[in-house]
Amino acid sequence: MSVFVDEAQVHLKAGDGGAGAVSFRREAHEDKGGPDGGDGGKGGDVWLVADSGRSSLVAFRDHPFHRAQDGVRGGGKRRHGQNGADLYVAVPVGTVVRDLDGSVVCDLSGSGDVWLGARGGRPGRGNARFLTNARRAPRFAELAEHGEERWYNLELKLLADVAIVGFPNAGKSTLISRVSAAKPRIADYPFTTLEPHLGVVKVPSGVPGDYDDFVIADIPGIIPGAAQGRGLGLKFLRHIERASILLVLIDMSYMADMSPTDQIHSILSELEQYNPYLLERPRLIVGSRVDMADMAGTNVPTDNRVEFTISSVTGQGIDQMLFRLNAMLKEVRLSTTALPGSSSSNLPSGGISIPESASVAASALGHHVVVHRPMPEGITISRDIDGVLTVSGRDVLRAVALTGLDDVDTAMYVSRKLDRLGVDKALKKAGARDGDLVRVGDVEFTYYDEGSTAGAPFSASMRRKQSSE
């Protein structure tokens, strides 16, 4: 039996870049040739891709970890390391991605939508790239950047055109199994259905031999007090948030505990408590189990908001209701204004192919590429409780990622680069005083107001905290 899972966590780790190489040409007649260390390869990115072949997040329960390939380090003779392959992780269409602090970072609502979840580390340049007239034998190369690594919360909101809401036992599952191929369990007790089911409904379009289709969802029953957690609570209502139409199913049988009017009132008020926008959503109120309405000639109570009465057992009223739903859907799809609190849905199409280069392939297919840049590019400076000034930012961290800082030449190079990036100015602005300890990645130096060592203000005191390689 398949398990429906609509919440999961995922850990994405992009590939680390490959480091640049330090190497010198060796020739028989020459003692020491010029630098020929090649660049490393880029680390692979990790993308999430909405795949209509997936229907639940269950795979992430057992396998939350996804890692792209690392780039290969550079070699001598200017050999470049190979790039790490990107990784595409398939998620169901309708997956909403949140940061661990709860903010939505991406909504993969269309089949084939891709999103960059973790960016591969940039490669390091080999020492061949640091050759200048003044520096004939650079003994340093760039280290590579680590691939991004982060946890996300995934949440699945099913994409149905029509969602059936109603009390337990109202006949929701019987209805969906009558009008589609979905086969949820049906039984004469409440809370038979514990997970949402989707079914595709085919309706004659009006043109002979031609059919329209739409997706209908059977959601576990809600009861009065669901908003306060009674019964199964309201958590399944997230799956109706994107439905274009709500089909409110009322039990018309003599077995119903409440009158149709009370049922309608109660369901609408639970919907409102979950999300007030749901009351603005087009809806159709339908009375079900109407073949069981009349017991020995009793008066059957009704409510004038009930537009159709149906029986999923005898088939009474079903075709008319489907016809009406189809017409309502066409109307909704034509209207240009988006539904409040939702995005319109499409019938999931066939399987997608994973694009080689996501941005190119995806835009060619008219899909949505959502690119997310989690790491800020600018410089940030914070003072720790022990008084140390910590400088961070992608480019800054990159500048100190070099092999061998013990070398004076290397320290000068790093120092100048930090200065060019504006670290000196930023430190001054952040209130740095002479003698303050500054930390950038695993490199530390002592701050002195510029002038003391023109052009390379930090080099004299620069050292690496722990040796990294």
Ligand X SMILES: Nc1nc2c(ncn2[C@@H]2O[C@H](COP(=O)(O)OP(=O)(O)OP(=O)(O)O)[C@@H](O)[C@H]2O)c(=O)[nH]1
Q: Which residues bind ligand X (CB under 6 A)?
A: 166, 168-174, 186-188, 190-193, 220-221, 288-289, 291-292, 311-313
> Closest Cα to residue 240, out of 320, 130, 165?
165
Q: Among Mg ion, ligand X, none, what does residue 170 contact (CB within 5–8 Å per kind)? A: ligand X
Nearer to Mg ion, 2 or 467 (CB): 2
- Distance, in Å, from the CA atom of 224 to the CA atom of 228, rounded to the nearest integer, reads 9
Which residue stretch of 168-176, 233-241, 323-331, 355-363 sits at the interface with Mg ion (rule: CB under 5 A)?
168-176
Residue of 153, 192, 343, 359 interacting with Mg ion (CB under 5 A): 192
> Closest Cα to residue 94, out of 118, 113, 77?
113
Nearer to ligand X, 227 or 332 (CB): 227
Nearer to ligand X, 111 or 288 (CB): 288
Q: Among ligand X, Mg ion, none, what does residue 52 contact (CB within 5–8 Å per kind)? A: none
Which parts of 291-407 fold into alpha helices (H)?
Answer: 318-334, 358-364, 394-400
Q: Judge contact between 8 and 61, C-beta under 8 A.
A: yes
Q: Among ligand X, Mg ion, none, what does residue 59 contact (CB within 5–8 Å per kind)? A: none
Nearer to Mg ion, 23 or 193 (CB): 193
Q: Among ligand X, Mg ion, none, what does residue 393 contact (CB within 5–8 Å per kind)? A: none
- In the complex, the smallest distance separating the C-beta of residue 6 from Mg ion, rounded to whole angstroms, is 17
> Closest Cα to residue 269, out of 353, 167, 199?
167
Separation in Å, CA 308 to CA 185, 341, 456: 24, 27, 81
Residue of 52, 193, 415, 459 interacting with Mg ion (CB under 5 A): 193
Does position 288 interact with Mg ion (CB under 5 A)? The reply is no
- In the complex, the smallest distance separating the C-beta of residue 319 from Mg ion, rounded to whole angstroms, is 22
Q: Among Mg ion, ligand X, none, what does residue 111 contact (CB within 5–8 Å per kind)? A: none
Residues of the chain by 3-state class (helix, strand, coil), percent to 5: 20, 25, 55
Lookup result for tokens 């399987």:
351
- In the complex, the smallest distance separating the C-beta of residue 307 from ligand X, rounded to whole angstroms, is 16
Which residue stretch of 188-196, 267-275, 294-302, 401-409 sits at the interface with Mg ion (rule: CB under 5 A)?
188-196
- In the complex, the smallest distance separating the C-beta of residue 218 from ligand X, rounded to whole angstroms, is 6
- In the complex, the smallest distance separating the C-beta of residue 235 from Mg ion, rounded to whole angstroms, is 16
Q: Judge contact between 6 and 47, C-beta under 8 A.
A: no
Nearer to ligand X, 64 or 168 (CB): 168
- In the complex, the smallest distance separating the C-beta of residue 174 from ligand X, rounded to whole angstroms, is 3
Strands 437-440 and 443-446: antiparallel
Does position 173 interact with Mg ion (CB under 5 A)? The reply is yes
Tell me how far apart the 2 most distant CA atoms of the chain are, in Å: 113
Nearer to ligand X, 128 or 176 (CB): 176
Nearer to Mg ion, 193 or 410 (CB): 193
- In the complex, the smallest distance separating the C-beta of residue 204 from ligand X, rounded to whole angstroms, is 22
Provide the token pair at 252: 């018309």
Provide the token pair at 345: 């849905």
Q: Among ligand X, Mg ion, none, what does residue 283 contact (CB within 5–8 Å per kind)? A: none
Collect contacts of 189-195 with beta carbons under 8 A, ≥24 apart. 190/221, 190/223, 191/220, 191/221, 191/231, 191/232, 192/168, 193/218, 193/219, 193/220, 193/221, 194/220, 194/232, 195/3, 195/4, 195/220
- Distance, in Å, from the CA atom of 358 to the CA atom of 356, rounded to the nearest integer, reads 6
- In the complex, the smallest distance separating the C-beta of residue 89 from ligand X, rounded to whole angstroms, is 33
Q: Judge contact between 376 and 395, C-beta under 8 A.
A: no
Nearer to ligand X, 190 or 301 (CB): 190
Nearer to Mg ion, 219 or 264 (CB): 219
Q: How many CA atoms lie within 13 A of 152 on its CB side?
A: 32
Residues that bind Mg ion (CB under 5 A): 173, 192-193
